[in-house]
Amino acid sequence: MRLSAPSVCVAALCLCTAGAAGATNVTLSGTVINSCVLTITTPGTLAPSTDGTRLGSEETGGVAAVMSVVATGAAPTINFAAPTLSGPSGSEDATTAVRYTSTGGANQAYTSSSSSRTMTGLLDTFTVNGRVTHATGFPAGQYTVTSVATCQQQ
């Protein structure tokens, strides 16, 4: 069967029209809730200073803790509680402090008090250093400096 050019055009137009009449929307929907995910990728370790009066993550052999934050749908605050020290008896009067910086611009100097940082974007990564100072040195044992990092909305 041979079709003339106008017949082909009419057939093509019919196909297109039929396609348009059967068109429908394909909908994919989702909901973003404001949430916060904290991930500590490196727990951090302390090492003694050469003069024996400090334990810190910035001393040779120490490692800073690294924590990433993903905050969707909100700009939460990351609150760092005052650091605490657990260690053998004889270290109770040592001074414990943490400091942190972040890729989002946080820059907190060493402090023994609580501190906070309000997120300005979706992602941020904090590098947290801990330090313990004791003028008379440290009894042998296991030492841990801990600061509770809380992601929350003010």
State in angstroms the smallest separation of the CB of 10 from other proteins: 55
CB 143 within 8 A of CB 91: yes
DSSP string, 31-58: ----EEEEEEEE--B-EE-TTSSEEETT
Does position 97 bind other proteins by CB under 8 A? no
Does position 48 bind other proteins by CB under 8 A? no
- Interacting stretch for other proteins, rule CB under 8 A, among 4-12, 67-75, 102-110, 132-140? 67-75
Does position 132 bind other proteins by CB under 8 A? no
**Burial category of 102 from C-beta neighbours within 10 Å (exposed 0-12, middle 13-18, buried 19 and up):** buried
Does position 108 bind other proteins by CB under 8 A? no
Residues lying near other proteins in the complex (CB under 8 A): 33-44, 46, 57, 64-65, 67, 70, 72-74, 76, 80, 98, 128-130, 144-153
